[in-house]
Amino acid sequence: MFGSPSLVTRIAIGKGIGFLFGLAGFVSMPWFVAEADWLIRWGILLWYTTLGAIIGVFGVFTWHPILKLPMPWWFRAPLLGAWMNFVLTFFAYDVMRTMMQSMFGPDGLLASPWWFTAEGAVVGLVIGFFATRFGGEGKETVGR
């Protein structure tokens, strides 16, 4: 099943692992942020599932198309995860700040919502590892 490179396999594995991370956030959010509503919880679940799909799709690109530099999975996946969580934090800063401050306190070391960017890099690294390990990477994934 996982013998030859496949873009569909990459995307499926990325979405599956992203779903697991999102599900962990969906289930554990009420313990960390009691006032988190259903919309935030569903948003986290769908966000990480989508992040997994994006990382899976970008496994086709092993070279930067303009700069002509190599982009191995361990660089590409955390970069995408960090970027996507940066964008999420940028547009939902107030909600993210409330969540982080309720989890770590207003003066806590991890109270800044920008820590979601680092979290995205770690989640992206995990998703990228498994998507590459079982789905392959590069242009050869497109033909299957």
**Between 73 and 34, the higher pLDDT residue:** 73
Tell me the whole-structure pTM to 2 decimals: 0.88
| Pair 82, 121: CB distance under 8 Å | yes
- In angstroms, how far is CA 44 from the centroid of its own chain? 10
Q: Residue 64 corresponds to which amino acid?
A: H
pLDDT at residue 96, as a whole number:
86
What does the pLDDT average to over 77-85? 96
pLDDT at residue 1, as a whole number:
47
Joined tokens for residue 71: 């982009």
Residue 99 has pLDDT above 90, yes or no: no
Q: What is the DSSP string of 47-92?
A: HHHHHHHHHHHGGG--B-TTT--B--HHHHHHHHHHHHHHHHHHHT
pLDDT at residue 87, as a whole number:
95
Q: What percent of the chain has pLDDT over 90?
A: 54
| Pair 58, 79: CB distance under 8 Å | no
The C-alpha atoms of residue 118 and residue 12 are separated, in whole angstroms, by: 24
